[in-house]
Every structure is written in structure tokens, then in C-alpha cells.
Structure 1
């Protein structure tokens, strides 16, 4: 690196704040931080600052919170900062061309996938759901498309069978800042790669929807397991159990194991066995052993504890597939 860069940072959640901290600790100068307006949070709906704003203010970095960049005044404010580069991490706003072109070296983004795979809002969860063997972060030069810009640097990590979106999030939150600092060193030298993405290899990581988290017992057990890990901690996988004709319970599943078993004689969603080892449920292929679950209004508990009070819900032969439980 020949000369430290003047950087504008734009981001919102804790994942972004980890990258901002790395920039603060680097030789570069963070001259401003952009984040969305404060939002109501908690029971009292008190306006609350995001993690990035809180960190920036603690280091006396100026903070700007435009609703979007359609207002010319907001565009001019950013231009007049005369930054070398703008670093964008989980900002949540689309940037118009006038903003992308404002810094001397443009805008770069830290994206939580190995582009062009999993462009979009939920790359960590979708990579898990798909059963990918690895993921990582990509530092790219931003353009007007959705995660379509030229790639500057990639950093890979394996996806383990024990990973959830929460643990994978933490892995990428460690990889990303290191990759970002390495990228900025290349940019400061004036000689850095820009590799175009192959659009033909692109996949899209759609935003999560709560409805997706309801377990479909028609799927193979390993597919259900992948979805469960992808949707942990949010929105959390669940099934519905009809206790009586008019009493439908939503039960969250926290920990499972995939059991190889011929389930052709069972219906998907039928309980094969129920004991302190877990609740074994037939699926479209093999079986799923539920080890930890959460009853309505309760905390997550081991199956052994659940059966002490609700063994009648999980009798062998019961169906746990919503209204088909009758």
C-alpha cells in the first residue's frame, strides 16, 4: 500500500460494524459513515440506532442517515466528502449511478457468497439450504446491477454439517474484514484485478419468508435438515400439530438428526418412535430424529423433557402435519 485511502463506509447491522471496526483499526481514514434512519425497536418502540451508527459515533466519525439517495442534497453531501472509495456492507439501500461514481475509485461491496453464486438478500441461508460444500465472501466493484459487479478478491470457507446460518454468519464476519483490508491495499497501490462475473453461472438468493420455514415432511430427511439449519436462528423451522379438531399448535424444531431408514410403510410426518432419544418422524426419504423442540409459549427443551408433559402429542402413529393430524 502506497498511501492510506479516505473511505466512506455504508452499512447497517453487526456484520457491517465488524467491517467498520477493521477499517478503524487499519491505516486508512474513515471520513464518514452512512446508515439508514433510526428505527423503532423493543416493546416501547423507541427509536434505536443500528450497530454501525453506534460504533461510528463512539469513534467520532460523522454519521449521515438519508432515507435513500434520490434527494439531490444527499447526493451532493456524499460527493463533497471527496472520498477515495466507498465501502458498502449490508447497507440495505440500492445506490444510484451518481453515488457509485462519486468516490475516486468508486464503490466496493463485501458480499457473503462466492459470486456469481447467490446474488441477492440471503446468500448465507441459501447456500446452506442448497447443501453447498463451501461458501465465502466476495469483494466486488459495485455497478447498477444486483451484485453483478466485477470481482476483486474472494475468500473461501467450508460449510460443515454442524453449521447453521448463525455459525456461518460468524465465519463470514471473520473472513470479510480481512478480505476487505487486503482489497483496499491492492486498490491503494493502483493495481488491482477486476474479474467480470459469468452471468450464466449466477444464482439468486431470495429474501427469506416465514412461510418457507414450515417443515414439509414429503421432502427427504437430509433436505429438511438443510432447511432447518438454514433457517436457524430466523425464522426458525416448525411444524403444526392438531391436538383437537379446533386446536392447532405451532411447534418449533431446534435440533435433529438424519436417520437412514426405509419409511415406505409410513406416511410422511408419521411418528415412528418416541422416547428419550428423540421423536423419529418419517419423511419422503429416510427419517428425521427430533432431539430438541419448542412448544408454544415455552423455551426450547430436549425431547425427554417435552415427553414428561406432552407424551400424548407425540404417540407412535400420530401425524404432525397440521390439519392432517386428525
Structure 2
């Protein structure tokens, strides 16, 4: 029986871990990030992969930093045949990459060599891509640069956002890995080198990427909203206070008003001028210090003071 160490952290990784367990592989340990404080009350919360591992009765290892740690030695001493990672969140040192007999493979949420890095799903939507996918790849010291074993493409729908694509790609990754692992064990899998000149990068989302620039065109702003939904969420400011924009649409209005200006107020939305003379219709938002709400509730309540001509910046 093939002995596997699984390494992953968020919800994306959970169906993949569950599949390996259901397929009967000998999972020696599950390696994930440490528990973290969550919410205003800073409640220590385990990562989703840990919760699933505990449910399945699997040993859990949670290194703060893998390199030069006692946990690293512990993982190597397990003697796994194969290490499988899926959104683990840390770089694997060479000593670990070299340890398993069958190598280390990663389930990556893009069509490599495009969108190497920690935020491939976010970035593909921010860039307005019409398709993405999953790559199963061998791991090496360079970021997401290892040989490709298998890939599967999927369309990004007009209404998709980062959350919905995480769900889709998690299932595709699970199924693709299920089909791929037997060939790795048998030594019959394909192994294709990446074309370095085609590589692009999707680094973790910065605070600067979250702020909306109303001089951008309406389509780019819409992609920003859905690319950052449901986390970390795009934001703008009104009267010096931050406003998170949870959901929006490209509006129907054309305008010559200054970008950021409120040009239309309806029952369940309001529209803001953008840089290409179109508008962005705001449907779901969160004013500073308040809960998330629909635009209709906002306009009926505290937002009733919003007027045509008000300026978002």
C-alpha cells in the first residue's frame, strides 16, 4: 500500500484529502498550518484540513515554519512513498522534496505555467480570464516550476467569483488527482517541462489591490469585486470612511460625470461613474463599523442620506 503524507490547509484541500482516504491510501500524517485566532474575539480556530483529518482519525502535524524544524525531521522519518500538497501555504525545503521515493506532487489551481504563486484563482478573475484549471505537478525548489503531470481546464463564468471557483477547482483537483496518482505509483505518468518564457505570477493579494480606483473601466472594477469575493473583499471610501463592496454589476447607465460620482439611485442598487463612461451598480456592501447588507437595506436605512453627486474615492 502506497504511504502518503498529505499537506494542505484551506477548504480547497479538504475534498482532496477525503478522496485519498476513501481510495485507501495509507495516509501517515496530515501536515497543515497552526491554529490561528479568528474574528473579533480572536478565537483559536483550526484550519479546515485539520478538522477533516481529526474527523478521519489521521495524525496531524502543524509546524509554524517547516524549514529546520523538529516537525520536518518527524515528517521525513515517516518514510512516505509520496507527498501530496494542495494549498499548504509554505515552501517545502529540498531535504523534504528529495525524501519520498515517488517524489512530491502539488495540486495547483491554475493552468501552469500561468499564475504561479499563492493567489492563482484571485488573479485569474482579477485579470478577466475566461478560463482556468488545475495542474498536477512535481515540486521543485523554484516556485510552482516543476514538471507538469496532468491538467484540466475549466471555464470561468460571467458570474463566477473567487469563492465559486475555489469550490469548482477543488472538486476538479480531487478528481484529477484521483485519476493521476495510480500512474505515478506505476511509473507510467507523463512528465512535461514548463515553458519558462510563458510563466506569469499570482502573488498573495496586497492591500493595494483591494482598493478600488474609480478611474478604471467598469468591467475591470467588476472583475476586481468578484476576484476579491468573498475574501478579502474590495473596498472604497465615502466621506473618508471605508466601504467594502461585496457584490456589484456593470451598470446600464452611461455618464460623463467624474469617476466615483453617484449618478443613479434605485430601489435595490445605486450606480457609480467609472473611467470609461459606464457605471458600476452596487448591490451588496458593508459600511465602516456595520454588518454586510444589501444595497436596498443600505438605501432604506443609514444609506438613505446617499445622494446623486456624492463621491466615492
Matched with 2:167 is 170
Structure with bigger gyration radius? 1
Corresponding residue pairs, total: 312
Unmatched 5+ stretches in structure 1: 243-247, 322-326
Deviation at 1:250, TM superposition (A): 1.7
Q: How do 1:10-21 residues align onto structure 2 when only pairs under 5 Å count?
A: 10-21=7-18
Match of 2:132, SS? Answer: strand
Q: How do 1:124-203 residues align onto structure 2 when only pairs under 5 Å count?
A: 124-203=121-200
Matched with 2:48 is 51
Matched with 2:251 is 259
Match of 1:144, SS? Answer: coil
Deviation at 1:202, TM superposition (A): 0.8
Matched with 2:264 is 273
Unmatched 5+ stretches in structure 2: none
Moved more, 251-260 or 13-22: 251-260
Deviation at 1:43, TM superposition (A): 5.0
Structure 1: which 4+ aligned runs deviate by more than 6 Å? none
Mapped contact 1:279–1:314 kept (Cα < 8 A): no
Alpha-carbon distance change, 230 to 317 in structure 1, aligned in 2, over 3 angstroms: same
Matched with 1:301 is 293
Q: How do 1:53-132 residues align onto structure 2 when only pairs under 5 Å count?
A: 53-71=50-68, 73-132=70-129
Deviation at 1:77, TM superposition (A): 2.5
For 1:256 and 1:41, how far apart are their aligned partners in 2?
27
- Please tell me the root mean square deviation across aligned C-alpha atoms, in Å: 1.9
TM-score (norm 2): 0.93
The superposition leaves residues 75-118 of structure 1 with CA deviations (integer Å, 9 ceiling, x where unpaired) of 44323322211001111111111100100011000111111110
Mapped contact 2:116–2:201 kept (Cα < 8 A): yes
Q: How do 1:237-252 residues align onto structure 2 when only pairs under 5 Å count?
A: 237-242=234-239, 248-252=240-244
Match of 1:119, SS? Answer: coil
Mapped contact 1:257–1:289 kept (Cα < 8 A): yes
Query: In structure 2, which of residues 263, 270, 273 is the aligned counterpart of residue 282 of structure 1?
Result: 273
TM-score (norm 1): 0.89
